[in-house]
Amino acid sequence: MNVRAVVTGGAGFVGSHLCERLLAEGQEVVCVDNLSTGRAENITQLLDHPGFRFLLLDVTEGLDVPGRVDAVYHLASPASPADYLRLPLETLLVGSYGTRNALELARRHDAGFLLTSTSEVYGSPEVHPQPESYWGNVNPIGPRSVYDEAKRFGEAITMAYRRTHGVRTTIVRLFNTYGPRLRSDDGRAVPAFITQALAGRALTVTGDGSQTRSLCYVDDTVDGIVRALASGHSGPLNLGNPVEVTMRELALTVRGLCGSSSELTLIPRPQDDPQLRRPDITAAVRELGWEPRTALDEGLRRTIAHFREGACTGLPVHHEEAAPALA
C-alpha cells in the first residue's frame, strides 16, 4: 500500500520540493496551502500527477483531509523575515493553532508527524555551534519573536502530543535553506544578492557583513526531512550545513558567480539579527546517516540559473523590489 502524505505549506519553497521528493518515491501527496507566502507556480508541474492533490486551506482554521493519512509533514508558516514581519499575527497563529490542527490530523489517523522547526529557536546564540541541547537566547518581545516563539511553541505542543496522546512525532530544526523557487522578494540574503547582482544593482549587506550563516541546499534539507520522519526519532534534530560563511563572503561569491560588477553597500542590521549561526549536526549524522552533499558554489549556481530562467521566461522576479539581505 502506498504511503499517503499530507504536506502543509506544500506550495512553499521547501514544501514544494518535499512534495516532488515524496511523489518520486511513489507516495501519494496531499498538498495543503493557503498561498499567503507559497506560490501556485511552485506546484503547477505536479497538478497532473495522479498521486497529487492540492487543497487550498488555511490550517489555522482546521485541517480535515478526506481519505487515509499515513504521514503529516507540517511546514506551513511564513519563513523569511520579510514575510513574518509583514504577517506577525498569522505567523503566531499558524505556529499555534495550525500546529495543533496538524497534530490532531495525525492523531486521528494514527499517522507519523514531522514539524519543521528552525534554527531561530536558538535566537542570538551564546553557544557556537548550536547543538540541540542548547535552549537558546531569544528576545520574546522583539519583532522577530513572532517567528521564534511560534516555532518554540510548535515544538512544545508537538512534544506534548507525543507524551499525552502517543503521536509518533519528529522535530527538525532547519538552518538557512536556499535553492530554486526562493522568491526574489523573499528578503533573505541569497535571493536578495542574486536579484541585485543580476540587475546590476548594489548588493545590500547588513551591518559590517561579518555575521555568519550556514547555508544548506534545498535538496539536502528535504533529504534530511524525509529521513527524519522515517527514522522514528523524536528529535529535535538540526538539519543544516556546518560550513559557515559571512554575509560579505556570500555577497562576493554570488557577485562572482553572476558575473556582476555590482558594488557592495552596507546598511543597518535589523534588530535581534543573530551574529553567528552554525549547526552541530552530530545527532543527524548519527541517527539519520545524513549530512549535506551540495557545495555552496554548486548550490548557488543552480539557484542563479533558476533566477536567470525566470527572467528569460518572463516570470516575475521583482528586481526593483528586492529587499535588503536579512539572512
Distance between start and end Cα atoms, the chain = 42
| pLDDT score for 1 | 62
Give the domain ranges of the chain. 4-177+217-239, 179-213+243-275+294-321
Cell 499575527 sits at which residue? Answer: 89
Cell 508537538 sits at which residue? Answer: 158
117 near 155, Cβ under 8 Å? yes
Per residue in 157-175, pLDDT (tens digit) is 999 999 999 999 999 999 9
Note if 147 is an active site residue.
Answer: yes
What is the CATH number assigned to the segment(s) 4-177+217-239?
3.40.50.720
> Same fold for the domain at 4-177+217-239 and the one at 179-213+243-275+294-321?
no
What would the grid cell of residue 192 be? 536578495
Helix (H, G, I), strand (E, B) or coil at 183: coil
Percentage, residues of the chain above pLDDT 70: 94
Q: What is the band of 275 on the pLDDT scale with cuts at 50, 70, 90?
A: confident
Task: Examine the pLDDT at 118 and tell me if it is beyond 60.
Answer: yes
Q: What mean pLDDT comes out for the span 235-240?
A: 98
- One of 3.90.25.10, 3.40.50.300, 3.30.565.10, 3.65.10.10 is the CATH number of 179-213+243-275+294-321, namely 3.90.25.10
| Catalytic residue from among 73, 84, 122, 147 | 147
| Residue 292: C-alpha distances to residues 20, 217, 257 (Å) | 19, 8, 21
Mean pLDDT over each residue of the chain, to the nearest integer:
92
Per residue in 64-79, pLDDT (tens digit) is 999 999 999 999 999 9
8 near 72, Cβ under 8 Å? yes
Q: What mean pLDDT comes out for the span 180-202?
A: 93
Please give the residue that has the higher pLDDT: either 145 or 1.
145
Q: What is the band of 311 on the pLDDT scale with cuts at 50, 70, 90?
A: low
- CA nearest neighbour of 129 among 222, 205, 240: 240
Task: Examine the pLDDT at 253 and tell me if it is beyond 50.
Answer: yes
Helix (H, G, I), strand (E, B) or coil at 177: strand
